[in-house]
Amino acid sequence: MLNLIHLADGRGRSISVRILGRAQPGILTGHDLLESEIVVTTGEALGASFPVTLLPEDLEEWEEALARLEAGEPARWLDSGRTPSLAFNFQENGDLLVSVHDTPATGVTVTVALTAPSPTRTAGQRSRLARVREAYPQAVAETSPGVYEWRHGRRPAREPEATG
């Protein structure tokens, strides 16, 4: 298991996106999809978990969302409607409100206020993104609409479990 996102404060509240592994390792159309879960912890022993399958473009969109957060702007991620989405908004006092909207499955929205983020928080998120990309490199190319092939002409060897 590898965290793509981990935002936490000193009061036991956190939002994480955990990468659990490839959806269908070794199968051309499912190899680059990542089985994941969004985990919300509130500090009062309450929490929620939402399963998510990430596409390669979702990682690109997370990088774009990080750029908006670095600029102090609100950001949304995974808002295509196929999965739970995340919204990031700054309050006037600097706290970060993170909402998980599970519109496709349960209709539930969970919002957690995290104390004012440190200036290095997004750097830590970028580091996590780099580790996920290193552990799960893209191995499939779509050569034309609906036509896929292995990059470098062969199926990759089984990857070791990622930890951390």
* Each residue's pLDDT tens digit, 108-130: 999 999 987 666 678 899 999 99
Q: Could you give the maximum distance between any two Cα atoms of the chain, in Å?
A: 53
Six-digit token pair at 139? 């191995």
pLDDT bin (cut points 50, 70, 90) of residue 68 is very high
For residue 123, the SS3 value is helix
Q: Residue ranges of the alpha helices (H) in the chain?
A: 56-70, 121-135
CA distance 76 to 57: 14
| pLDDT at residue 33 is higher than 90 | yes
- b/e sequence 100-129, b meaning 16+ C-beta within 10 Å: bbbeeeeeeebebebeebeeebbeebeebb
Kindly report whether the global pTM for this prediction surpasses the value 0.85.
yes
Place of tokens 């928080």: 121
What integer pLDDT is reported at residue 158 of this predicted model? 65
Q: Check residue 34 and give left, alpha or beta (phi > 0: left; psi -120 to 50: alpha).
A: beta
Whole-number Å distance between alpha carbons of 118 and 125: 12
